[in-house]
Structure 1
Amino acid sequence: MKWLAVFLTLVGLGLALGWPQFSQLAADSWRRHGTPRLQQPEGWPRPVYDFSGNPLSRAGFELGRALFYEPKLSRDDSIACANCHQQFVAFANAGHRLSHGVNNALGTRNAPALFNLAWQPSFMWDGGVHPLEVQPLGPISNPVEMAETLAGVVRKLQDDPRYPPRFAAAFGSPRIDGQHVLLALTQFVGTLQSADSPYDRYLAGRVRFNAQEQRGLAVFRAQCVSCHREPLFSDYSFRNNGLDAEPRDPGRAHITERAEDRGLFRVPSLRNIAVSGPYMHDGRFETLDAVLAHYAEGIVSSATLDPALRQGLKLDAADRAALRAFLDTLTDERFLHDPRFADPGEDS
């Protein structure tokens, strides 16, 4: 089917303006002209996802936004995507180690933050889903999450008088099908773009870092950048970061069935990391300080431990404090409070 195709790389526009300036211009353009845009900030790689196969429109974006906040996507109409992905914490799951599903079911992994997904080549902690359009099928069909079928979602939306006109506006027909449900969701989540943090403004020469933040950036570039590559702050590889000697969750090996992939998980982006805990694939660390302590003194050896971590990271107390200050500069407050991405039921 068309929505299962792997799309070609999007040819992004080079921007003469610094990204923070352009971010505001893009937001204003949405409001004036009514059409969402995915932009390629200066210095960023081209996105992986190609919207030419799913042309962005205001109607499609707003439909996807409504579906993201729609509990009808779950079997008992109680759980929406937004239940586990809340905007004020970068669409992570505030205060919950693991995802919660229908009938109080508890998932096995932490719900990740959602942003810059158009640059991400695969999804889920084990990379078992791609391309972006297919990703919503995972939580929709997972028995410990939404526990629904795509056919069931389509049936409920078709019976809701609010939705056929919205699908007609977005895709030309009031007859709802699963492909268009996924395409609409992709128009929303694929444009959740975060690129206006103090770090981005620093790169653009619009703000200065204080001495602690500057030291933290130096520590980061010396110790962390091999996995958390700028400007996306992830290389989207799969690595064992020393959590367990014998991982209970096989991680990437669940997909590849290769012993050498046991305990490997996708490297998450560090953008908005200060607000998107708990941390790790199982949410075991509640604070960033606990995460930094793990890398400095808590690495557990195993057969698949990433070679870069075999000696741990050389982080003394001053380094950790500086690194913590730098990580705070990756929080994009505009993204966390952008009304374009909020629950449409809260629109005034």
Structure 2
Amino acid sequence: MKWSWILIIFFASVGCQRDVEFPEGKTVKDEIPDPTPHELRIPQGFGDYYRNPDNPLTLEGISLGKKLFHDPILSDGNRQSCASCHNQSKGFSDPRRVSPGAAPGAIGKRNAMALINLAWRREFFWDGRSFSLEHQALDPVSNPIEMNLPWPQAIQKLKAHEEYPLLFERAFGVQDFDSTHVVKAIAQFEKTLISADSKYDKYLRGEATLTDQERLGLDLFNSERADCFHCHNGVTFTDNSFRNNGLQSTVRDSGLGGVNGNPRDVAKFKVVTLRNIGFTAPYMHDGRFQTLEQVINFYSDSVNQQSPNIDPVMLKSNRENGSLNLTDEEKEALIAFLNTLNDSSFVEDEKFSNPFE
């Protein structure tokens, strides 16, 4: 009789244990390990990166983000993924001038920006309309000229998938996930896209030697003669500002001014990094230049000083009617130096590659 009561009490306690509710719908039976914290390896000279206290990096979150980044499940008709317009072999940019969308006939308005060293940036898109990587990732999924899938439908597809519910629970400890968890995972993966092993990086570390031509290009880059360093400075090769570099005489795209409503910011666009510049053609916000030669020729000879809100750097006294009048030798040296910023290991790294291939 005594053992009968013990067994009754034991089974009753086990039954109660299964019914104990934990935060976010978990139970004792379903308890899974906490996500594994992860710290980025900060390259020499980069300084600390921007951290989002609401989205700490974890191995599980990064892995989930990589899968979501490459999976077309987040698009209308499963036609495209983030990687469709951000190709790893192209420095996570798009070799097309503008990108087609998932919906038939949809086409973008600007060149897809390269995704490089994003953990050290605060504003995103050419016009700076997003203030974090998480916020940035919200837009393309539902955007009708990009992935064209309303977020409720995207979440429904993910929840019906055989793998994603468990992956979200492992990454965030939630069973009822939503769009905020999706963009957090993608942002975590994007923060790992660090490029800092180019020939120039090896030169700075004493592991490589620049040729005479590359050295001349470096000297020109950092001089008033070529005048590149004012905007593309530091180890990230961008000051993260927004500027009008004299591309257009009339405003066809309002850029930053179209976002913040400030007329002084009309026609200003993000200064992009020059890292992996040899992989990321075409160039400029509208993808108008297909080669580095065209870019150098523009800055040397074709800056339109009448462009609205043109940056003061483009009006300096060393420019005669917008021209630097660089010699052919100087132009070739600049291009040689810029190509030392290409990081082949980054565009070939399996850590970032498509997990579905």
TM-score of the aligned structures, taking structure 1 as reference length: 0.86
User: Which residue does 1:295 correspond to in 2?
Assistant: 299
Q: Deviations over 1:164-208 (max 9, x none)?
A: 111111112333211111111011011111111111110111111
3-state SS, counterpart of residue 356 of structure 2: helix
For 1:60 and 1:275, locate their aligned partners in 2 and report how far apart those are by CA, in whole Å: 28
User: Which residue does 1:85 correspond to in 2?
Assistant: 86
3-state SS, counterpart of residue 274 of structure 1: coil
1:241 is the counterpart of 2:245: yes
Identity of aligned residues (%): 42
Does the Cα contact within 8 Å between 1:71 and 1:79 map onto a contact in 2? yes
2:310 to 290, 296, 305: 305
User: Which residue does 1:147 correspond to in 2?
Assistant: 148
Does the Cα contact within 8 Å between 2:267 and 2:308 map onto a contact in 1? no
One-letter identity of the residue aligned with 2:348: H
3-state SS, counterpart of residue 168 of structure 2: helix
Q: Mapping of 1:129-144 within 5 angstroms?
A: 129-144=130-145
Does the Cα contact within 8 Å between 1:157 and 1:176 map onto a contact in 2? no
For 1:184 and 1:255, locate their aligned partners in 2 and report how far apart those are by CA, in whole Å: 26
3-state SS, counterpart of residue 76 of structure 2: coil
Does the Cα contact within 8 Å between 1:37 and 1:191 map onto a contact in 2? no
User: Which residue does 1:29 correspond to in 2?
Assistant: none
1:281 is the counterpart of 2:285: yes
- Deviation at 1:65? 0.5
Radius of gyration: which is bigger?
A: 2
3-state SS, counterpart of residue 48 of structure 2: coil
One-letter identity of the residue aligned with 1:138: D
3-state SS, counterpart of residue 344 of structure 1: coil
Q: Mapping of 1:1-348 within 5 angstroms?
A: 37-47=39-49, 49-94=50-95, 96-102=96-102, 103-222=104-223, 223-301=227-305, 302-310=307-315, 311=319, 312-346=323-357
- Deviation at 1:55? 2.4
Could you list the structure 1 runs, at least 4 aligned residues long, displaced by more than 4 angstroms after superposition.
Answer: none
For 1:187 and 1:97, locate their aligned partners in 2 and report how far apart those are by CA, in whole Å: 27
3-state SS, counterpart of residue 229 of structure 2: coil
Q: How many residues align?
A: 311
One-letter identity of the residue aligned with 1:331: N
- Deviation at 1:211? 0.3
User: Which residue does 1:10 correspond to in 2?
Assistant: none
- Deviation at 1:35? 7.0
Q: Deviations over 1:35-80 (max 9, x none)?
A: 7541222222322x20543222221111100100111111222110
Q: Deviations over 1:116-144 (max 9, x none)?
A: 11111100001011111111112112211
Does the Cα contact within 8 Å between 1:60 and 1:170 map onto a contact in 2? yes
One-letter identity of the residue aligned with 2:308: A
3-state SS, counterpart of residue 328 of structure 1: helix
- Deviation at 1:262? 1.4
3-state SS, counterpart of residue 273 of structure 1: coil
3-state SS, counterpart of residue 209 of structure 1: coil
Does the Cα contact within 8 Å between 1:272 and 1:331 map onto a contact in 2? yes
One-letter identity of the residue aligned with 1:325: A
Does the Cα contact within 8 Å between 2:71 and 2:81 map onto a contact in 1? yes
Q: Which moved more, 1:73-82 or 1:303-312?
A: 303-312
One-letter identity of the residue aligned with 1:39: R
For 1:53 and 1:155, locate their aligned partners in 2 and report how far apart those are by CA, in whole Å: 24
Q: Which runs of 5+ in 1 are unaligned?
A: 1-33
User: Which residue does 1:28 correspond to in 2?
Assistant: none
RMSD: 1.4
For 1:211 and 1:40, locate their aligned partners in 2 and report how far apart those are by CA, in whole Å: 30
For 1:256 and 1:56, locate their aligned partners in 2 and report how far apart those are by CA, in whole Å: 31
For 2:243 and 2:352, locate their aligned partners in 1 and report how far apart those are by CA, in whole Å: 31
Does the Cα contact within 8 Å between 1:166 and 1:174 map onto a contact in 2? no
One-letter identity of the residue aligned with 2:194: Q
One-letter identity of the residue aligned with 1:41: P
Q: Deviations over 1:262-285 (max 9, x none)?
A: 111000000000110100000000
For 2:269 and 2:259, locate their aligned partners in 1 and report how far apart those are by CA, in whole Å: 11
For 1:246 and 1:60, locate their aligned partners in 2 and report how far apart those are by CA, in whole Å: 45
3-state SS, counterpart of residue 291 of structure 1: helix
For 2:205 and 2:324, locate their aligned partners in 1 and report how far apart those are by CA, in whole Å: 29
One-letter identity of the residue aligned with 2:263: A
One-letter identity of the residue aligned with 2:173: G
- Deviation at 1:309? 1.2
3-state SS, counterpart of residue 185 of structure 1: helix
For 1:254 and 1:142, locate their aligned partners in 2 and report how far apart those are by CA, in whole Å: 18
For 1:50 and 1:176, locate their aligned partners in 2 and report how far apart those are by CA, in whole Å: 22
